[in-house]
Amino acid sequence: MIEIIPAIDLIDGKCVRLSQGDYAQKIVYNENPVEVAKMFADAGIRRLHLVDLDGAKAHHIVNHRVLEKITGSTGLIVDFGGGLKSDDDLRIAFECGATMVTGGSIAVKDPSVFSSWITRYGADKIILGADVKDEKIAVGGWLETTELDLLPFIQKYMEQGINKVICTDISKDGMLQGTSTDLYKKILAAQPALYLIASGGVSSIRDVEELHEALIPAVIIGKAIYEGKIKLKELTRFIIHN
């Protein structure tokens, strides 16, 4: 059964969504992300993907107080990402209640640091963020596409113990145009033991069903929930099995 993971993206402490990572295409959905997190928890959701977009821009953790309020007032298992670049950033994130952290650009730009986090905290605490365009890894808030191929990139870190990967197809993210199911199938065919978390493009409950039928372990859903394309009650049949 596919795990449902709603996303809350933070700018100025508010719940927002971007389209394809473009800060100029920001929509504020709620001034109080803690209320949103409580709504998810009340619906039976157990996991939350919390992204510090201010932190991603600043290259260090910014919205840790919001993280602390969410983990302090809900029972949600929170994975936290966005701008985590130093050991101090991780310390703050874990102290503020994150169960897991996600590292994306750092795994490309400073692999020795990311590898040290896997060693220090263990693979259960560290998620690899693999943002991808045309099967090439993208970094820096998606402004830069690298020459790194997706599958070898994942393989490299799985050899170091990583077992959870969030893969976001940046051409799909925030566009409500459907998911890259074929890409996710390809990843799992290469790495069947991977706990792959699909991200980007979910536009309807049918997209979730398609990923479930493809045996994708988990999916992050953002804009589709905020814009009413998917109602939380539609997700109930997936949530109750998690």
pLDDT at 72: 98
- Asked if residue 172 lies in contact with residue 200, where contact means CB atoms within 8 angstroms, the answer is yes
Calculated CA dihedral for residues 133, 137, 138, 139, nearest 10 degrees: 160
Q: Is 205 left (phi over 0), alpha (psi -120 to 50) or beta?
A: alpha
Is 131 in the active site?
Answer: yes
Averaged pLDDT in 10-residue chunks for the chain of 242 residues = 96 89 86 97 96 93 98 97 95 98 95 97 97 88 81 98 95 76 97 96 95 97 94 89 50
pLDDT at 136: 93
**Residue 198 three-state SS:** strand
pLDDT at 144: 76
**Element of type H or E holding 22:** strand 22-30
Amino acid sitting at position 8: I
Which of the residues 9, 54, 79, 169 is marked catalytic? 9
For each of the domains in the chain, give its residue range(s) and CATH number, in order of start.
3-239 (3.20.20.70)
Is 110 in the active site?
Answer: no
Q: Are strands 14-19 and 22-30 parallel, antiparallel or unpaired?
A: antiparallel
Which of the residues 52, 131, 169, 173 is marked catalytic? 131
* Contacts with 227 (C-beta within 8 Å, 6 or more apart), sequence order: 176
CA distance 208 to 6: 12
Q: Are strands 136-139 and 144-149 parallel, antiparallel or unpaired?
A: antiparallel
CA distance 196 to 157: 13
pLDDT at 18: 81
> DSSP letter at 222?
-
CA distance 80 to 95: 12
CA distance 186 to 89: 33
